[in-house]
Structure 1
Amino acid sequence: MIAGTDDDRGSPPVLPGERLQEAWRRLRAEKLADRGFRRRAAANPLIRPIATRSAGRLFDLAAGFVYSQILRAVIDLDLLGRLESGPKTADDLAGPLGLSPAAARRLLDAAAALDLVEARSDGAYGIAALGSVLQAEDGVRAMIAHHDMLYDDLRDPVALLRGEAGETRLSRFWPYAGDAAAPEGGARPASGDGEADGTADAYGPYSELMARSQSFVADDVLDVFSFGDRNSLLDLGGGEGVFAEAAAERWPHLEIRLVDLPEVAARAESRLRAAGLAGRVSVRGADLFDAPALGAADVVSFVRVLHDHEDDAALALLRLAHRALTPGGEVMIAEPIAGMPGARRVGHAYFGFYLLAMGSGRARSAVELADLLARAGFWNVRTRYARGALPLAVTTARRRGEGPIWRL
């Protein structure tokens, strides 16, 4: 169709550049579907690197589950920890790993192929650069060990997408996700599989996992967002207080309050007391969806909270933050978002399906998050990116009509 004719009235005009781009996409799809073309491309020294790279990416997609299970074996057997004292051979490791020398060598070679370890010329294996990073991040290892629930829930991804999978293990593991119609305090965990039993003990496993994985998030967020000109922080859904603890240590002048479900708040109080911060950080147990009076703060934070909830619930939380801010204050949201530059798979692929299996929430784009903020009465939305073990967007906004557009 030609833009502007009667056949496409009401549709946006198609620009010449867009028509050329679409024609190129059709030609590319046609050529790449031709096996003969792909073989000729692989034989051409000028474009061979592109063809080889594309073939490798396709194989990695097909083999992704195998790679993840190798990674799980490395974690379960503490292979990297056993190499911290220095390189070892498969024979050295076989006994401690509980494997035959041949099986130990097979695991070491697989881990080397994934750049977690590296083979030495003398037949020994040592920790590679990527393995060093993994070994240093306890929270990442905790998430990997936790993935058996996710993989179990993804056995039939089509049934999950159609809503035919029934109750999932992740929905039982995360108590507030067990009933999407009544998030947070409105839902109590269902029984089964040991993930949740309807008691306060059910909040322990997920709170501990969040605390361990939050440890590598908190510093990354604080590297992006400064509290230098702020005096108070209200951390909503703050879990066991890992972010609050990091903020207190980074900014000694900051008055900090944390609110989470009563079962989780009790764990936060214990943690912060052990860290010597009982006098610096106050903790309150409350259901945020009951809209309690929380007092005022210069910054209200949601660290890995909003993406766990559907739009209506997320909007209610943002409106709660709007009411709690001091004049000129900011809401700060730190979580993975869809379409992050350099980390596109994190939002739509990983968290898209993780949250689907969990039964609540979704990964939003920067535009979608800004739209929610506008509906809650915010403006001056700014998004920055933290580049740590877990790519995150740090989004800030002020109440409409307040404050300068930018701050450091």
Structure 2
Amino acid sequence: MSAHADLTLDDLTPILFGHAAFQCLNAGCELGLFPLLQREPHLSREEVRDRLGLADRAVDILLLGTTSLRLTRRVDGRYRNAPVIDQLFRDGQWEIFANVVAFEAHIVYEGQADFVASLRDNTNVGLRRIRGTGRDLYHRFAENPHLERVFYRYMRSWSELANPALLKEVDFGGVKKVLDVGGGDGVNAIALAQAHPHLEVTVLEIPATGPITRRRVADSGLSERITVHECDMFRDPFPTGADCVLFSHQLVIWDPERNVELLRRAHAALPPGGQVVIFSSISDDDGDGPLMAALDSVYFAALPAEGGMIYAWRQYEEWLRAAGFARSRRVPCASWTPHGILVATR
């Protein structure tokens, strides 16, 4: 039984006007309100207006929105960031958070307008709002350089936010080589190689992303231990030689049938005793949360590919068994994001 309290009419307001609430958050990021108040707290309305170069009406709308949402505070007629925003700056996570906001604003937001159609058709109708001819979002980035930059900044930030849990909870000490499936610009591979000097990592990515990954790896000085293997993960066999296959934020994209196929390919590529690690946002088995998992599933339903959502623990375990993995274990992660880890052995 769900432990969630019943909604009140007041509780419906941020749901009904959720689109507007996000716009206030995004405006505070893009117009520089939050960094301004971090540098200069306790500014008057007029000082905020002048620093941001806004008209009177515009600054009134912005501050009414951010203050009503408790993103900013007004004390004695002067404005400052809310404590949670201050905490992001103090912890060095503001840029990460701002990159996530930009991803939601520039890539996710428009596509989610097709959420209802996506549910009716059981496919990602919102992809039509991204210019290009690629079969999914990732194959269209080459035709949308701005969106490509926004996306990889976001994925790097999201991974940097989450990867400490991966490094803490999974023992890579006995692993020699990791195959990072769909490893993006190499953020996971770089973190693993930096944390474990004995480790070699191969990043498996589509040809359009390969050059981006190689540049990031070269910039990190880890080209001798991190290589890039370009292929189509659904059509080409996985390279052999790794004793660990990592799926980080990858299986949320695809439907169950394709996830089983990917896990079977991992099983075939691993030696006996090799392991697969799934690291992702995960929803509860009861289907009643966490809230971030529920809301993030709207994106996966509407936009990136023909399938995907924030799946539950039990679903991953079913797929691992179907792919031939005999045993697995759950590793919940303590975080405000709904991350979890499953480790299975061949």
TM-score, scaled relative to structure 2:
0.84
Give yes or no for the alignment of 1:104 onto 2:59: yes
The residue type equivalent to 2:102 in the other structure is: A
Give the Å deviation of 1:356: 1.6
Q: In the alignment, which residue of structure 2 is the partner of 1:254?
A: 199
Counterparts of 1:292 and 1:130, CA distance in 2: 46
Q: In the alignment, which residue of structure 1 is the partner of 2:34?
A: 80
Q: In the alignment, which residue of structure 2 is the partner of 1:396?
A: 343
Q: In the alignment, which residue of structure 2 is the partner of 1:319?
A: 264
Which residue of 227, 230, 245 corresponds with 1:300? 245
Secondary structure, aligned partner of 2:247: strand
The residue type equivalent to 1:150 in the other structure is: V
- Superposed CA offset, 1:191-248 (max 9, x none): xxxx663x99985554444233322222232232231332321111101000111111
Q: In the alignment, which residue of structure 1 is the partner of 2:72?
A: 117
Among all aligned residue pairs of Structure 1 and Structure 2, give the percentage whose two residues are the same amino acid: 26
Which residue of 80, 99, 103 corresponds with 1:142? 99
The 3 A distance-change label for structure 1 pair 124 and 170 is same
Secondary structure, aligned partner of 2:157: helix
The residue type equivalent to 1:212 in the other structure is: S
Secondary structure, aligned partner of 1:350: helix
Q: In the alignment, which residue of structure 2 is the partner of 1:152?
A: 110
Q: In the alignment, which residue of structure 2 is the partner of 1:127?
A: 81
Counterparts of 1:218 and 1:379, CA distance in 2: 26
Which residue of 187, 194, 205 corresponds with 1:242? 187
The 3 A distance-change label for structure 1 pair 224 and 118 is farther
Counterparts of 1:294 and 1:97, CA distance in 2: 52
Give yes or no for the alignment of 1:361 onto 2:307: yes
Secondary structure, aligned partner of 1:372: helix
Tell whether the 8 Å contact from 2:103 to 2:151 is kept in structure 1 after alignment.
no
- Superposed CA offset, 1:315-367 (max 9, x none): 121111112223322111111123279952223x3232211211423222111
Q: How many residues align?
A: 335
Gaps of 5+ in 1: 1-20, 26-49, 179-183, 190-194, 400-408
Which residue of 291, 294, 297 corresponds with 1:345? 291
Q: Which moved more, 1:82-91 or 1:160-169?
A: 160-169
Counterparts of 1:126 and 1:229, CA distance in 2: 49
Give the Å deviation of 1:391: 2.1
Counterparts of 1:116 and 1:398, CA distance in 2: 45
- Superposed CA offset, 1:5-44 (max 9, x none): xxxxxxxxxxxxxxxx9xxx9xxxxxxxxxxxxxxxxxxx
Tell whether the 8 Å contact from 2:124 to 2:306 is kept in structure 1 after alignment.
no
The 3 A distance-change label for structure 1 pair 162 and 368 is same
Counterparts of 1:398 and 1:170, CA distance in 2: 41
Give the Å deviation of 1:166: 5.0
| Structure of larger gyration radius | 1
Q: In the alignment, which residue of structure 1 is the partner of 2:120?
A: 162
The residue type equivalent to 2:330 in the other structure is: T
Give yes or no for the alignment of 1:231 onto 2:176: yes
Counterparts of 1:125 and 1:230, CA distance in 2: 51
Gaps of 5+ in 2: none
Q: Which moved more, 1:285-294 or 1:376-385?
A: 285-294
Counterparts of 1:78 and 1:169, CA distance in 2: 31
Counterparts of 2:149 and 2:30, CA distance in 1: 21
Tell whether the 8 Å contact from 2:276 to 2:344 is kept in structure 1 after alignment.
yes
Counterparts of 1:241 and 1:129, CA distance in 2: 33
Counterparts of 1:377 and 1:196, CA distance in 2: 36
Counterparts of 1:218 and 1:340, CA distance in 2: 23
Q: Which moved more, 1:82-91 or 1:127-136?
A: 127-136
Secondary structure, aligned partner of 2:271: strand
Counterparts of 2:307 and 2:118, CA distance in 1: 15
Which structure exhibits the higher relative contact order, with contacts defined as CA atoms closer than 8 Å and separated by 6 or more residues? 2
- Superposed CA offset, 1:252-271 (max 9, x none): 22222211112212111110
The residue type equivalent to 1:177 in the other structure is: D
Counterparts of 1:202 and 1:161, CA distance in 2: 25
Counterparts of 1:201 and 1:78, CA distance in 2: 20
Which residue of 311, 319, 322 corresponds with 1:375? 322
Give yes or no for the alignment of 1:61 onto 2:15: yes
Tell whether the 8 Å contact from 2:29 to 2:98 is kept in structure 1 after alignment.
yes
Secondary structure, aligned partner of 1:307: coil
TM-score, scaled relative to structure 1:
0.73
Secondary structure, aligned partner of 1:326: coil
